[in-house]
Chains A and B, each alone.
Chain A
């Protein structure tokens, strides 16, 4: 189905998040860390938008701005047509139910003193959605069943579960409020492959059943490719390429995407791929950026790249890229 036929559930425009970094030296002005710069993307209902990029590129910052855990510095986030940045608290509360987040660490994100059942009930209590106690615990049990746990697990504490099971509890908690969009920040990164596969399958099943929309963050391209309909590649706080999941593998455009793909370990002992080496390390996000963020490391860098910032542009087929090679 062409994307234009789909409903946009969230419209993100020029989203920017800066952090002030206090200088070590006394009296010096605080510096600005550009964690997220000028990110614009439409998120379609029922899709999984994968976000990939290296450590520090702003993936979590993006996710946290979407669920309002971070206050964006600039830009806009429209949810079902309504601007949610700067929205009044009581109005926002209803919308917050619709947008949930699942975090990476299944070990620290659960209160160790609460049983699995109570953990799943908690968001319902906080948002006062089911007030009848019995009904609520019934619903909690249903949710635990949805994620592959059952009656015997209801009264257990987090330390009595494995990592994969804890992540299931986290997912059940996110589902408790009947959300429409879930931001998943590295939800399988701490899990073993065999358990990771179980949880990835669960995400896919739940999406089909409830028509959920996911923003799925990971640094593992194989995982992202597996779960996503479309993939956004981030570098230094910006989206540098955005396309459907198939194209990123078949037809990567941005020099950074190509380098990233070439660095992924092979799929077999016979797969000898040529690595595209980016010289140097990722530059610091502190201070103002002139020119393309990849300019210093890019093998195709031109004069123009050092002075101007390439914008993310659609090439007509929905494949967006921010690079002067394609202008």
Chain B
């Protein structure tokens, strides 16, 4: 078993907007081990990206962490001062976003951006930094890396740009990579290449990866553990194999069922989850999935279900999954 790198406990990040308080992250808990990959899945707006920005404490002004604990290698991230925080972001963590253009400046050459970034975080000369950059570009499979150093981002395809970002991450040898939908904008063949590249680098550097995706296939390919989020909350967390074989939360069931699969029969009916996610200003009064859940009972509309460890390493937040009751998938309200 590997050791723990990052632990997040009951994290809550709210946005204080003109129209009310939006509980974007409202109770997220998980642990990420060294050298492992954890996936975060969930519907659009469920708080995946805000969870990631909270960990590196890069939130817009109206966003505030109101509760919780973020522990990174024994350090309390919420207690770091400005300088420590900059150090933490620069040295320990690298971030890869969906759109590589959010991390690349369109008016500067790839090479100078890489050199600048390396020099900012490491004590090396410009020449050394340049060598490191070329080496990293080569490692991520960019042909003619010396020549590519002089390219502008717009001269490269989306997949190539994403490789450049990964190359930048490689230079910093971070302890953790946060990848927020890194392949969503890419074609499947390019996606496969980029994911495999991440895996290779992880093996080499023993980096941990926090991988945000809405594609469960990507989770099965990449992740050791997975957290399912719904309306700002962790609703289930387990090892990937476990979550696949024995998912426990009704929302997870819905998510698994609504994914079309290549092995499905043609034109069969998909089991969609009816309805839409709740307004985040109104959540936190009961189970957030209550209005869409076919298994809901009375208590679900009155109390927030706590996140419980129902088996070793398998956490779930549902009133009907605990010591007293073990809900079975498909048996809708069997006990009523």
Question: Which of chain A's residues have a CB closer than 8 A to the CB of B102?
Answer: none
A-contact bits for B260-272, CB 8 A (1 contact / 0 none): 1111101111111
- Name the segment of B24-32, B216-224, B298-306, B319-327 touching the other chain: B216-224
Q: Is B206 an interface residue (CB 8 A)?
A: no
Residues A267 and B220 in contact, CB atoms below 8 Å apart? yes
Q: A249-B263, A270-B241 are in contact. Are A265 and B157 (CB under 8 A)?
A: no
Residues B272 and A198 in contact, CB atoms below 8 Å apart? yes
Question: Which of chain A's residues have a CB closer than 8 A to the CB of B113?
Answer: none
Which A residue sits closest to B266, measured CB to CB? Answer: A245
Which B residue sits closest to A48, measured CB to CB? Answer: B267
Residues B259 and A222 in contact, CB atoms below 8 Å apart? yes
Bound: A259/B193 CA distance, A: 12
Question: Shortest CB–CB separation between residue B123 and chain A, in angstroms?
Answer: 37
Q: Which of A163, A196, A221, A270 meets B258, CB within 8 Å?
A: A196
Question: Shortest CB–CB separation between residue B77 and chain A, in angstroms?
Answer: 30
A-contact bits for B183-194, CB 8 A (1 contact / 0 none): 000011111110
Q: A55-B187, A201-B272, A226-B268 are in contact. Are A264 and B262 (CB under 8 A)?
A: yes
Residues A195 and B188 in contact, CB atoms below 8 Å apart? no
Q: Is B44 an interface residue (CB 8 A)?
A: yes
Give the residues from 175 to 200 in chain A that come closer than 8 angstroms, CB to CB, to chain B.
192-198, 200
Question: Which of chain B's residues have a CB closer than 8 A to the CB of A265?
Answer: 188, 191-192, 215-218, 220-221
Q: Which of A162, A204, A259 meets B189, CB within 8 Å?
A: A259
Bound: A13/B244 CA distance, A: 46
Q: Is A263 an interface residue (CB 8 A)?
A: yes
- Among A193, A197, A227, max chain B CB count under 10 A is at A193
Residues B262 and A194 in contact, CB atoms below 8 Å apart? no
Question: Shortest CB–CB separation between residue B218 and chain A, in angstroms?
Answer: 5
Bound: A201/B264 CA distance, A: 14
Bound: A245/B241 CA distance, A: 29
Q: Is B276 an interface residue (CB 8 A)?
A: yes
Bound: A194/B253 CA distance, A: 11
Question: Shortest CB–CB separation between residue A315 and chain B, in angstroms?
Answer: 20
Question: Shortest CB–CB separation between residue B278 and chain A, in angstroms?
Answer: 12
Q: Which of B188, B220, B269, B270 meets A221, CB within 8 Å?
A: B188
Residues B217 and A192 in contact, CB atoms below 8 Å apart? no
Residues B276 and A195 in contact, CB atoms below 8 Å apart? yes
Question: Which of chain A's residues have a CB closer than 8 A to the CB of B159?
Answer: 281
Q: How large is the interface on B (under 10, 10 to 19, 20 to 34, 35 or more residues)?
A: 35 or more
Question: Which of chain A's residues have a CB closer than 8 A to the CB of B190?
Answer: 54
Residues B260 and A267 in contact, CB atoms below 8 Å apart? no
- Among A164, A165, A259, A266, max chain B CB count under 10 A is at A266
Question: Shortest CB–CB separation between residue B144 and chain A, in angstroms?
Answer: 13
Q: Is A278 an interface residue (CB 8 A)?
A: yes
Q: Is B255 an interface residue (CB 8 A)?
A: yes
Q: Is B74 an interface residue (CB 8 A)?
A: no
Q: How large is the interface on A (under 10, 10 to 19, 20 to 34, 35 or more residues)?
A: 35 or more
- Among B187, B216, B241, max chain A CB count under 10 A is at B187
Question: Shortest CB–CB separation between residue A206 and chain B, in angstroms?
Answer: 13
Q: Is A150 an interface residue (CB 8 A)?
A: no
Give the residues from 141 to 171 in chain A that come closer than 8 angstroms, CB to CB, to chain B.
162-165
Give the residues from 17 to 62 in chain B that come closer than 8 angstroms, CB to CB, to chain A.
43-44
Q: Is B254 an interface residue (CB 8 A)?
A: yes
> Which DSSP category, helix, strand, loop or mixed, fits chain A's interface?
helix
Bound: A243/B272 CA distance, A: 28
Residues B260 and A225 in contact, CB atoms below 8 Å apart? yes
Residues A164 and B276 in contact, CB atoms below 8 Å apart? yes
Which B residue sits closest to A256, measured CB to CB? Answer: B189
Question: Shortest CB–CB separation between residue A294 and chain B, in angstroms?
Answer: 12
Residues A193 and B214 in contact, CB atoms below 8 Å apart? yes
Residues A266 and B221 in contact, CB atoms below 8 Å apart? yes
Residues B218 and A225 in contact, CB atoms below 8 Å apart? no
Residues A281 and B260 in contact, CB atoms below 8 Å apart? no
Which B residue sits closest to A222, measured CB to CB? Answer: B260
Which A residue sits closest to B185, measured CB to CB? Answer: A55
Residues A260 and B244 in contact, CB atoms below 8 Å apart? no
Q: Is A37 an interface residue (CB 8 A)?
A: no
Residues B269 and A204 in contact, CB atoms below 8 Å apart? yes
Q: A192-B43, A193-B255, A226-B267 are in contact. Are A269 and B262 (CB under 8 A)?
A: no
Bound: A251/B157 CA distance, A: 32
Question: Shortest CB–CB separation between residue A303 and chain B, in angstroms?
Answer: 25
Q: Is A219 an interface residue (CB 8 A)?
A: yes
Q: Is B120 an interface residue (CB 8 A)?
A: no
Q: Is A275 an interface residue (CB 8 A)?
A: yes
Q: Is B274 an interface residue (CB 8 A)?
A: yes
Which A residue sits closest to B192, measured CB to CB? Answer: A263
Bound: A129/B153 CA distance, A: 50
Q: Is A229 an interface residue (CB 8 A)?
A: yes
20 A–B contact pairs at CB < 8 A? A165-B276, A192-B214, A193-B43, A193-B214, A194-B273, A195-B276, A196-B260, A197-B258, A197-B273, A219-B188, A222-B259, A226-B268, A226-B270, A249-B262, A249-B263, A265-B215, A266-B220, A266-B221, A267-B261, A268-B220
Which 6 pairs between the two chains have the least Cβ-Cβ distance?
A265-B217, A197-B272, A197-B258, A226-B260, A197-B270, A194-B273
- With A54-B190, A266-B220 given, name 18 new contacts (CB 8 A): A54-B189, A192-B44, A193-B214, A194-B258, A194-B273, A195-B272, A197-B270, A222-B260, A249-B262, A265-B215, A265-B217, A266-B221, A267-B263, A269-B240, A269-B244, A270-B244, A275-B196, A277-B193
